[in-house]
Structures are given as structure tokens and as C-alpha cells.
Amino acid sequence: MKNYVLTPGPVPVPEFVMLEMAKPIIHHRTSEFEEIFYKATLGLKKVFMTNEEVLILASSGTGAMDAAVSNTLSKGDSALVVNGGKFGERWAKICNAYGVNVIELKVEWGKAVKVKDIEKALDDNKEIKAILIQASETSTGVEHPIEEISKITKNRDDVLLVVDGITAVGAFPVEFDKWGIDILIGGSQKAFMLPPGLAFISLSQKAWNFYEKSDLPKFYLDLKQAYKNSLKKTSPWTPAVNLVMGLNAVLEYFDKLGLDNLFKRHTVMSEATIKGFESIGLENFAPGCSSTALSVIKSPEHINAGEIIKGLKNKYGMIVAGGQDQAKGKIFRITHMGYVDKGDMISVIAGVENILQELKYDFTPGLGVSTASNILDQL
Amino acid sequence: MKNYVLTPGPVPVPEFVMLEMAKPIIHHRTSEFEEIFYKATLGLKKVFMTNEEVLILASSGTGAMDAAVSNTLSKGDSALVVNGGKFGERWAKICNAYGVNVIELKVEWGKAVKVKDIEKALDDNKEIKAILIQASETSTGVEHPIEEISKITKNRDDVLLVVDGITAVGAFPVEFDKWGIDILIGGSQKAFMLPPGLAFISLSQKAWNFYEKSDLPKFYLDLKQAYKNSLKKTSPWTPAVNLVMGLNAVLEYFDKLGLDNLFKRHTVMSEATIKGFESIGLENFAPGCSSTALSVIKSPEHINAGEIIKGLKNKYGMIVAGGQDQAKGKIFRITHMGYVDKGDMISVIAGVENILQELKYDFTPGLGVSTASNILDQL
């Protein structure tokens, strides 16, 4: 059976990128590769919307999250962790590993953090050195209001805004320079439509000032080393050569498409998917704050989402993600990132409709698909 | 011009591996990928010659070197660093980053460490908790006597033997269990003939005991997390999916070839290259202790190795590595790892001969090639 990977990372990789990565290896300490590496960093700056260096790490996104903490904070520092899902939780675990004191701002799963709650936490805890947050929380589909939060931190020298944009950068605008973000992280296997294995990270001057004061030990993930080498069109340790070659191909594609069109693809697919499912009575798990990078849909009452997920896999070879922890059995998650297009969104809705009919769920068959396809006409 | 990558990492990747990695992405949290991941760890155990888990990290080899230190030692601990080249130096840098006290055993470049010097260092410094060493020092082509050193540490509970086998594992036998090595590291872009982006690491029970006492912070490179997940056929963070798919293809190829034959390929190519160059008066940089993973050859007196390296690149598209630091301009380095074969060895010797003729070096043209090709008949 043909497989359709529709998870919010890893995502389908375009054929032209797979073939680019299948090209013969290039030695990384050659001018030929340095030009490829340099071109990739230039392309990344556009997507990160920054003039700062964007560093390319040979790691998964978690490596860059680790680096964000270990390169800027010190043992005993306090960080405000916005925890509204599995990746918010991960910030807390990283802080714990490094002896950074966690002040947790719990957010109900499926809800965005309230800016005033962040303001209050900062007021109540003057010792906070950094806000650790997701632009888009992959486990719930929530987009947090980064632009609004950045207004609080932009003019404060004493607090960093550290944004895990792994499921955001490339999917929708996260304006590093304009908003005044201090650290922003991206990952290859998300909107960059590559296999996993690369993480991207950019730091503001304020973040580099924190670097100088940080006393946490680091070596492989030492961002100053990466920065110094990036200026010389290379990386301190052996880079993941073929993934960087693929990255360049993706960034060229982004350039041809235009960033606005790239973002629009996610917006339209998101709207179509959510409205399509809503038309047959399935709710958006993150109403009013859903990220356009993925859609998180609640299964109907009395139907375990696991049955929908299993049905999609067995009948259609479609792989969508389920819920974790408290959301297990309640939701399914569909990517709009990666090499997916209108047909993928239509077919997954049709697949869910078919399974819901089998499960005797009461709805108008075909309505989800037709609702979505009308919206997808915008692409 | 066709390019021939003949550097000691990255190395040429076989076509069947490139095509395997160009296959559509698989989601990493599926039974399909878990079987691939599990099969890869079983294959790695054979090459590492161990019954311990071999952990697969999404990082370059340096990430695993960092992990070896940060997962077993504590701040203020002392480590004996065998420094006979660039990668020995790196051990010291990692220790410095983590506040581990470095007791350095300097070894002349091109020479192997003497076992009695290690014994003496251990006698003189009872506080030493670990010996950090390379099985094969890529910058000099030296193989250090790991088996002999392991006899010192095997029956001591208080000292770990930590071996960077990045340019060794898969090239020649490094017998983890039999010798009693405590930590052994491999890298994808070396004898495993993959692109860079994966590191492999195995720990003895003694090393895990050290883990429990280590107070150095770690998160992304926390090996206990990797270990726990490896038992469940997965990794704690998103693995580099396509590289793991490629790894499996390589390990299947190793299985068909047989480990003895794999090692023999390196031995014969090494002997042929060294004797070939010696027959025209070019010396082995590491006589009596040369690793079979690569050959490091000294350029003739009055000829800068840079001219040979540049000539190979410009005339033949052949990329070989030069010397670093004190060896710059004095040596060139040729891989025997990766998807290289008899023809590659013959042609690089012929290329060097051609350039030496242009440089008016006095020798019998063709002698290097014929000497090497006779030895290569063993393959």
C-alpha cells in the first residue's frame, strides 16, 4: 500500500530534495561545500526574518532547545516556562537538567497563553531571566502570541524571549528582527520539508550578552563556536553534509515560491481542514488560537481517536499523529507543513469520513470534503 | 570534472545507500521505523563487537565525544588525555569546557602512545578517573594500542577507558567486550560509508556506574535517555530517519561481506598505499603504528604537500586531506574507509606520481602504481 505521511513532522520530502541529497558526498572543508553552507545560511535568514546569523546544527530540534538554555542561562537562574503541551514540558525538563529554576506557567491544553499572565509572572518573579515558549505547540496545535509577548521583552535587557519555532518557522511569519525575539529555533523535518537531522537557531545581540555571562558547560552545542565558524561559511564540527545540500534545494524552492505564498499555503490548508471537519461536527482542539502549521481535530464523543488513526493507516496507508498524555484517544493531528498539497488534505478528510461512516457516526457524507475543497480553491 | 572524494571522512557513499536514503520519509514513531532502528542497533553491536546496547545519536562524532565526558565524569575529576593529534586535543577541549582537570600525555605526532607512559601517568596521578584516547588519530594516521591499554583498566573499577573509535570502528577490530573497553564511539561518515549526521556510542556496565555518579549537566546528549529508548527500539528525540535507513543498508552489506573481509579490505588498501608510496621514496608518517583506516604520507623534502593536494584536485578532481597545524604542508592523507576500492588507490597513487614528475621529483614513474597494484591483488 502506498504510504501518505501526514504527521506534523517528519513530513513528506519533495522528490527533487531527495534526489539532491542522494548526490555524491562533498567534503565539508572545501570551497565547494562552503558556498553551499553559506547559501543555506543566507536562505535561512530570510525565513527567520533576521539579519542575525542563523546557525545550522547537526542535531534534532531538541539539541537546539538544549543549546538555547545551556548557552544563555546559569545554574540557579530562573526561567518562566510556558507549559501548554509536551514541548512546553520539555523546556522544563531541560531547565531541570541544567539546574535552572523553573517558574511554570501552566496553560490548559488547546489554549494559548494569556499575555497578561506572562506580565503577572514577570511582575511576581523579578528574578526571571528568560521566557521559554513555543511559537506553535505541536502536541495541541496552539499558536502562542509571540508578537505580543515580544513587546514585553523587547525593551528589557534583563529578560530573554526564547522561542521554540520548530513547528512554526517556515509555516507562518515569526519575525525575529521586527518583533525583537532573542532566540528562535527551527527544525529540518517540519516546514523545511527535509528529513530530521538539522536544527537551526538564531540569537539576538541581547542573547549573546547572556551567553557571555552563562556558566553552564557546553561543547558540542556551544553556539559561539557555531557562530564563529558560520561567519567563515562552515561549522565547528562535521556538518550533516547531505541534509545541508537538501536544505539549499528547499530554500531555493522557497525563494521561487515567495515567503508570502509559502505561508499562504499553510493558512489555506489549515482553514480548509478545520472548516471541513467542523462541517461534519468535528471540533478544532485549539479554537481561536490554532497554528496554521498543523490542525488538531477532536474525535466525536464516544469515538476514540485511535480508531480513526488506525483506520486511516490500515485502509489508506495514511499516517496521522494521535494525542499524547491527557489528549490520548481524543485528538488526531494533521500536518500542513512539508510537501503536502490540496489533494492530501482532501483525501485525509475523505478517509476520516469513510471511517466515521463505518463507526456509525451521524453526519452528511461528503460535506467535509466539499467544504474543504471549496476553501482549497484559494491555492 | 568527476570528483573522487578520498578524504578520511566524509567518504564516498555507495549508490545503493544513497538510493535507500532517498526513499520516502517514514514517521519515527511507527512500528515500521522501530524495526529499522532496532535492526540497525543489532547490526552495530556486531561491528562494535559487543553485547551492550549501541546508541544511535543524531549528531556528529564530536557530539558523542562530548557525551562520553559529560555522562561519566564530574566537575573537578581528572582525566588522562592522550594527545598525539587534533582529535586528542579535542578531548582536552571537551574536558576544559566541563571543568574536568586534564592530565595531558603528549605524544609526538606520528607516534603511538607507549603503554608504560600510560601506566606511569596512572601511578603518578592516582586521581585519574578516565583515559581519553583515539583508537585511530585521523590527523596523523596513528593507531594507538587500545588492546594493551585495556589490560590496565579492565580490572580496575576506578578508571574508565574511553575510546574515540570514529576513524576505527568498522575499519579494523576494536573488540569492546573482549578487551573490556568502557566507552567506544563511531561515526557515520567513516567506515560506515554514510554521510555525516550520526554518531554511535556504547558503554560498559562500569561506565554506567560512572554515569550514576556524574554531576555534569546534560539533556540532548543524556545517554541514559538514549539507552532507555534504545531498549524500546527508538530514540528519545527525533532520529535522523533517512540516515538510519541508510545505516541499515550499510550494515546489511557488512553482514554479506563478513566483518573479516571488511577489515581485510582496509588492511590490504593500507599496505598497498604505504608500500606503493615508499617504493618511490615517500615515507609513511606513522611507521610501525599506522592505522589501516587511512594512510598518511609525507611529501618529499622540498616539496610542499599542498602542491600535491592542489594538483590532485585540479588535474584529477581527487580530494585528499592535508596536514593540520605542525603537519601542514608536510603530509597528505588518503582514506581506506568508505566506498573506495582497488581502482581508487591505484589512481590516486598514479595521480601523485604524475604531479611529482611535473615537480621534477626524481623517481621511477610507474613503480608506485605497480607496487600497490600487486599488493591489491589480495582483494
Percent of chain B, pLDDT > 90? Answer: 100
B276 to A312, B169, B222: CA distances (angstroms): 61, 25, 45
The C-alpha cell at A256 is: 521561487
B322 to B8, B167, B168, B261, B332: CA distances (angstroms): 10, 16, 19, 29, 5
Chain A closest CA to B58's CA: distance in Å? 5
CA distance A208 to A212: 7
pLDDT at A50 (0 to 100): 98
- According to DSSP, residue B101 is labeled E
Give the mean pLDDT of chain B. 98
The secondary structure element, H or E, covering residue A276 is helix A259-279
Handedness of CA B327, B331, B334, B336 (dihedral sign): negative
Mean pLDDT across B325-350: 97
Cis bond before residue A239 (omega within 30° of 0): no
pLDDT at A100 (0 to 100): 98
CA distance A178 to B182: 50
CA distance A31 to B278: 31
In this structure, which amino acid lies at residue A281? G
Q: Write out chain A residues lying below 8 Å of B218, CB-based.
A: 97
Q: Write out chain B residues lying below 8 Å of A10, CB-based.
A: 25-28, 238, 241
Whether residue A18 and residue B12 make contact (CB cut-off 8 A), yes or no, is no
Banded model confidence at residue B325, pLDDT cuts 50, 70, 90: very high
Q: Which of B11, B59, B193 best probes binding to A when mutated, by most A CB atoms within 10 angstroms?
A: B59
Per-residue model confidence as pLDDT tens digits over B117-129? 999 999 999 999 9
Q: How far is CA B250 from the centre of its chain?
A: 16
Per-residue tens of pLDDT for chain A, all 379 residues: 899 999 999 999 999 999 999 999 999 999 999 999 999 999 999 999 999 999 999 999 999 999 999 999 999 999 999 999 999 999 999 999 999 999 999 999 999 999 999 999 999 999 999 999 999 999 999 999 999 999 999 999 999 999 999 999 999 999 999 999 999 999 999 999 999 999 999 999 999 999 999 999 999 999 999 999 999 999 999 999 999 999 999 999 999 999 999 999 999 999 999 999 999 999 999 999 999 999 999 999 999 999 999 999 999 999 999 999 999 999 999 999 999 999 999 999 999 999 999 999 999 999 999 999 999 999 9
Q: Write out chain B residues lying below 8 Å of A187, CB-based.
A: 238
In this structure, which amino acid lies at residue A133? I
**3-state DSSP helix/strand/coil percent for chain A, to nearest 5?**
45, 15, 40
pLDDT at A296 (0 to 100): 98
Edge-first strand order for the sheet with A331-335 is A294-298, A331-335, A321-322
CB A216 within 8 A of CB A73: yes
Per-residue model confidence as pLDDT tens digits over B8-38? 999 999 999 999 999 999 999 999 999 999 9
Per-residue model confidence as pLDDT tens digits over B57-95? 999 999 999 999 999 999 999 999 999 999 999 999 999
Q: Write out chain B residues lying below 8 Å of A238, CB-based.
A: 9-10, 60-62, 187, 189, 196
Helix (H, G, I), strand (E, B) or coil at B296: strand
Q: Write out chain B residues lying below 8 Å of A18, CB-based.
A: 22-24
**Three-state secondary structure of A34-63:** HHHHHHHHHHHHHHHCCCCCEEEECCCHHH
CB A48 within 8 A of CB A192: no
Domains of chain A: 15-256 (3.40.640.10), 258-376 (3.90.1150.10)
Whether residue B240 and residue A65 make contact (CB cut-off 8 A), yes or no, is no
Helix residue ranges per DSSP H, chain B? 15-21, 31-48, 61-70, 86-97, 115-124, 146-153, 176-179, 205-213, 223-231, 241-257, 259-279, 305-316, 342-358, 367-376
Whether residue A238 and residue B94 make contact (CB cut-off 8 A), yes or no, is no
Which of A252, A62, A71 shows the shortest CA–CA distance to A167? A62
Of B13, B23, B217, the CB nearest to A98: B217
CA distance B278 to B285: 11
pLDDT at A16 (0 to 100): 97
CB B56 within 8 A of CB B44: yes
Contacts of residue A205, Cβ cutoff 8 Å, sequence gap at least 6: A52
pTM as predicted? 0.97
CA distance B225 to B230: 8
Of B21, B66, B240, the CB nearest to A219: B66
Q: Write out chain B residues lying below 8 Å of A24, CB-based.
A: 3, 5, 12-13, 18
Whether ipTM > 0.90 holds is yes
Whether residue B219 and residue A93 make contact (CB cut-off 8 A), yes or no, is yes
CA dihedral B61, B67, B69, B73 (to 10 degrees): -170
CA distance A246 to A253: 11
Whether residue A240 and residue B195 make contact (CB cut-off 8 A), yes or no, is yes
CB B296 within 8 A of CB B331: yes
CA distance B352 to B344: 12
Of A3, A93, A240, the CB nearest to B197: A240
Query: For the stretch A101-130, what's the b/e string if a residue is b when 16 or more beta carbons lie within 10 angstroms of its beta carbon?
Result: bbbbbebebbbbbeeeebeebbeeeeebbb
Size of the A and B interface in Cβ pairs below 8 Å:
184
Chain B closest CA to A138's CA: distance in Å? 13
Banded model confidence at residue B188, pLDDT cuts 50, 70, 90: very high
Whether residue A18 and residue B22 make contact (CB cut-off 8 A), yes or no, is yes
CB B338 within 8 A of CB B320: no
CA neighbours within 13 Å on the CB side: how many for A83? Answer: 16
Q: Write out chain A residues lying below 8 Å of B28, CB-based.
A: 10, 196
Of A18, A24, A239, the CB nearest to B12: A24
Which of B69, B71, B121 shows the shortest CA–CA distance to B97? B69
Of A29, A218, A242, the CB nearest to B97: A218
CB B142 within 8 A of CB B110: yes
CA distance A335 to A337: 5
